[in-house]
Structure formats: C-alpha cells, structure tokens
Structure 1
Amino acid sequence: MSVNIKKAAGYISSLRKSREEYLKKVPGRLAKIYSGKDKNPKPDYFRESSFLYIRSYNGDVGVRPFSGINFWNSPDITINPISNAGMNTTELYAGNTYNIRCRLNNRGDLMIPFPKVELFLTNPSLGFNTTVGELLGLTQLQGLLLPASNGEAQFTYTVPASEAGHKCLFARTYSFSPLDKPFDLHALDPRLDRHIGQKNLNIISQGSTYSFNLVHQPNAIETIEFRPMTVRHVTNLQHPALQKVKITALKDNKALAQIKLEVVAKTPHKINLTNEKGLWQIRTSGKGISVEKQGEIIKSTNAILKAIHSGKGSHQHFRKELKPFRELNRHVAVTSLQITIPDFGTRKGYAVGLEIINKNKVDGTVKGGITVIATGN
C-alpha cells in the first residue's frame, strides 16, 4: 500500500470516528437546548425550524422556485434490483424485487425524527399529479435526520405483471413534528416544492416505440420538443448501465425533427396536435380554468414562493393566497402519446441521448421532461 493511500485511509477513518461521536453527543445536546434547561443559551442565529428537501439536481440546496434546470433526474432517487445493488434502473420486470432508495437532506437547525417518504410509480410522464397516479407505498428514514445532514430511506417492491416496463418514480417527503411538509396535496412539481423529487430516465433500443403520458390542465397550450444530448451531458448522469456502452453524439439532428408524435388513446377533452419544424404544439379544451386565469395564478404563486424562501413567512401564512393554486391542481387531464425512437445508425455497444422537453406556453417555463438513452441494435 502506498504512502498516499495510507494517509487517505487514515483520514477517512478519523472522519468516521468524528461522525460516530457526533451522532452520540448531538441528540442529547439538542434536547437540552429545546427544553430551555441548557445553561448555555442557543445562539442568536439559531432558527427553530427544519429544512427538509430532495435534490432535483447536483448542487441543489432546496431553493424554490427555480427554472431553466433539468429537474427530472434527481440524484437522490435510485432503483436497484435486489439481486444487483450496483445496477440502477427504471425498467422493471414482473416478479422481480427492487430496492428503492431516496436520500433526504436537512439544511435546517432542527433535527427531524423519522421523516416520511411517499413513493409514486407511474408510466413515463411529462408532469404529474396525485389525482392521476397511484401511491406505491410509504416508508421512512430509520432514525434522526440531524441538522446539516442527510440520510437514506428505503422501500422494497416486488413488481406485479401490471406494473412491468419503463417507469417514472416520484418521491415526496414530509414531517409533522417538526412541521415540514409540501404546500399542496395534489401537485408533484419539483420546481416549486423542495419536498418533491423525480426520476425520469429510460434506456430504449433505437427503432422501438415509446409511450408516455402528458399531464396537463383541461385547457392547455403546451409544446413538446426533442433535443439531442451532448456526450458530457449523458456521462454526467452517472448511470451504471452506461458503463457497458460507448456514448456518442448525434451525427445528424434531422432525425429528431422527423419524430412523429401521436395520440394513442381517446381523451375526454378536445385536442389539437400540430408540428412546426420539429416543435409540436398541443392545444386542449375542456371543463376547467381558462389559460388566462392559469397565467395569473401561476404568476401569483411564484411570487409567494419567492417571498417564503426569502424568509417573509411560511406556507401557513399564505394559506388563503395559495388556495387558487390548490384548486388548479385538483383537476387535471391526461393525454397518452407515442413516438418511435429513430434509427440513428448507432451500432451495438453504442448509445446516444435525447431529451423530451415539455413547455407550458401559459408561463413559458419547462413543465416536464424525460431523458431517453437510445442504444444501438
């Protein structure tokens, strides 16, 4: 063993020892602080609140709302077959058992005992809402989530035949003591709520069909676009399955512009689908809030969330003002869509990446996305 490796091993050992001592001492110390019996008063900067969140991207510290960031590949959510803990996946096989892990983060000054995590397993979706999805299960962190720390909650799931195939996973975390929970019952939007995380990445053979759902308002104006990914962008996903293939860039982006988007199931709402130079525009009309009113609600909600995250109150203080947003998410519509992954001329052992990007034209923001890794045949 080299000198540098010995030094590194010693340093890691000292860090582990410090962490063990910290975990033993801090709970008792915090209990004294909160009881008011501690002789040493708490510092002036101490805030009696937790700050629970699931990261939506590397470097995420829980600040919401945000825009212009791909948020559908949370680094805190992983799915592994029980038989192979090192292989991350989002393709599930009937009868197989998987371990779902969700890392939770606490940037607050209060510890959180046994924070809960709800898991929603769905067909690949652009946008999502609890009113159109099913709760997979509920789990919790087995212990205390201390201030300025993170921990991992786990859930074991055996796949029934009806749930096999490519999937999208949503995680929603919360705590009632201390109170730290999502501000909306139905919306699962990582852009607006730090308690929500999403994993929406599928690996598919080129030339095969791919189906996904668009979750939207009954009255909506949205777009769907297919964008190429750079080699660096794909590599940064750090997906174990990508170690078996060589990532290449698309040689000709014209193939993406020729992808045909089709509606594959009847809908209760009217839908108009048009294509302009590879940008698909979707207009729907049905019973619901008008697009003009939606714009007002979204603008108002974003302003409230910015005020909350700048310390000007909590979600409870703005309960009345947030009511229109909650009403907006009580009733949503679903459109089932399908595309055929183009033949990019990629050989076996190689892969290219593309993003399916969904924008809400009401406010001009990216509402959802799906990462697709197309492998050669």
Structure 2
Amino acid sequence: MNAIMGSGILGLSYAMANTGIMGFSILLLIVASLASYSVFLLLSMCTQTAVTSYEDLGLFAFGSPGKVLVATTIIIQNIGAMSSYLLIVKSELPGAVAGFLSGDGESGSWYLDGRLLLLITSVCVVFPLALLPKIGFLGYTSSLSFFFMVYFALVIIIKKWSIPCPLPLNSAENLQISNSTGECKAKLFHLSKESAYAIPTMAFSFLCHTSVLPIYCELQSPTKSRMQNVTVTGIGLSFLIYFISALFGYLTFYDKVDSELLQGYSRYLPHDTVIMTVKLAILFAVILTVPLIHFPARKAVLMVFFSDLPVSWICHILVTLTLNTIVVLFAMYVPDIKNVFGVVGSTTSTCLLFVYPGLFYLKLSREDFLSPQKLGACALVIFGICVGLLSLILIIFNWINQ
C-alpha cells in the first residue's frame, strides 16, 4: 500500500471534477481492477520463470531490448514520480512556513520562496539519504506515510463543512460570497478537455508493479494465491481511501478544485491548525519517499548505461547527483502537477500497469491463445495502448490550444 499511495491522491479530486462522480467511480474501479489483474499476470510469470525483477521479465520475454525498454520506462516513471513529490514540496512548504509565522513573514522573504525551499530540502535531506548504499531504515519511516494518507482523507471529510459554498470570491480574508449557487451542484457525469488527465492520473496513482516482484520474492513462504490476496486487499483499501478523499475534496470545492488539492485549503483556510498538520504530514511523507524512489531509478540507470563497469562509489554518487538534479529542475520549472500526472501517467504508467504485463504474459505463457488469461492479457495490452495514446494526444492538443 505504501508503494501504491503517493502524490496521486492530491490529483484525484481534480479528475473527479472533470469526469463527474459516477464517471470517476466507474473509471477508478476499472483502473483498480486492471491493476490487480496485471499484478496477477506478473506473479504468474514470476512463478513460471523464477525471475525477481520487472527488468528481468523484460529480458526473459524479449532479450536485451526488452530489459532496456523496461529499465528506461522505469527511469522515466520514477523521475516523473519524484518530480511530482517535489512539486508538492515547492507548492506546500512555503504555505506551511507562512502558517507557522502567522502572517508575520513578508511575501518577498527567502523562506517563502518555493523554489529555494525545494533546493534546500533536496540538498540537505533528499540527496544525502539517496546516497546511502542501503536505505532499509527508511522503510520504517515511510510506513507512516500510509497512516498520513488515512489522516489526510479524514481531514478532507471533516473540513468539507468548514468551507462555505458558494466559495468566497478571493480568499479567506475576503468573505464576499459569490452569488452563483449553481456552482455548488455536484455533477454525476462531466466531459471537458481536462478529462484527458483523469485516467493517466489514476494509472499514476495505482502503479506499484515495480515493487511487487521484489516484495513477493522476499517473503518467508511466498505463494501466488497469498500474494494475490495481499494485492487485492492493498489495492481495495487504497481504492477506498482514494475515492473518499477525491469525493469530499470535490464536494468541498466543486468546479473550483485545484489540480493539487491542498492548494485550495491553503487559499481558504491559510492558518487552520488541522490543515497545517495535514500539510506537514504529507510533506514529511513525500520528502522521505523521494529517496526510496531514487533506488529503483538508479538501479535501472546503472543497468542500462553502466552494466559493463564495476560497481564504484564514484559511479554511484554521479548517477545519484544526476538523477537528483534532473528531478529538481523538473519540479522547479513544471508549472502544474497535472502535467506530470498527465504525461507520465499516459506513457510510462500505462506501459508498466497495462501494456508490459499483458505483452510479457502473451509471450511467455504456454497456454492456448484462446484461454481466458491470454484473452485478458490481450485486452489489457489493447486497453493500455488505446487509453495511453488517446490521453497523450488530448493532453498535447490542450497545450497547443492554451
């Protein structure tokens, strides 16, 4: 569940605002079900081939090109995930600092500059932790992140009744209420150009597939059926928390919901103590999760570009520094988190979630092609390609027309 739940939770209310409550529910259920099914296919291949990583499955199915393709996809996916986490630091840390100062800080102060705070956090916290050769101890701190997500969902429910609707026109200081009560009606189905971000955001939110095989292989007595039960339970509980937080976030702001949910609360409840604790919890969770995501990304980089070289500290440090620099630059200059969810979700997330598991199963399984599993794998590949391409085309079309 720690592998599943992350920054995606902050983008799902925006996805609901652009698909409607029923539309969102159907899409989220489809993505969660397909994510669970694709894990089932991965576990089936793991027992057949005895491999222990996603990259090795690619090698087993399509040789070296398959391994390089999977590793490259994981690198791009993890850079996108780390960028989305650091985007949250850039957007939320200044507000958290300002909240503690109770409005005493000047707006131009260095400690309220999101980019500068992001840089300081990356240099002082993320980079040193990502440099460690073994980062097992962070497993204990990152396990708190799931409880932070539950706490986040509970606060979103409670705060629904703290923000009036219609929303104040400008901010919490300006309590002029807009006259339009029509904006306080929830839509069951809704279609707009922003709907293209919905499925990519969901795919981004449910991706745990690069962690499933290592977890499975490290269990004391692993069996496919038990691991599948764990996966179904984990995805089911994550679905529930995602849905509740998305629903109440949407019912608080309706069409005015931000692409990063916490920004709305920062605007209308800037000094609320409970919202401050949620911000700190989410910031703590994402800052400590970024170094963990560095590890599979660095492993994939070393596998693709430096497989012939002996393992050395110089190579380790340079790859870590390069990845960290790329991620920080993306987080600094990408204006909106929905762009990260959209592009990464429609390309690498759909590949790792839908396309690759189906494709590898079709190649490696010795079942008859008309067997239920192979037909399911075929449907998974077709769904992933169609949804990913369509979403990406619509997102690029949106950018061109802006």
Q: Normalised by the size of structure 2, how large is the TM-score? A: 0.21
Larger radius of gyration: 1
Which has the larger strand fraction? 1
Which protein, 1 or 2, shows the higher relative CO under an 8 Å CA cutoff with sep ≥ 6?
2
Which has the larger helix fraction? 2
Q: Normalised by the size of structure 1, how large is the TM-score? A: 0.22
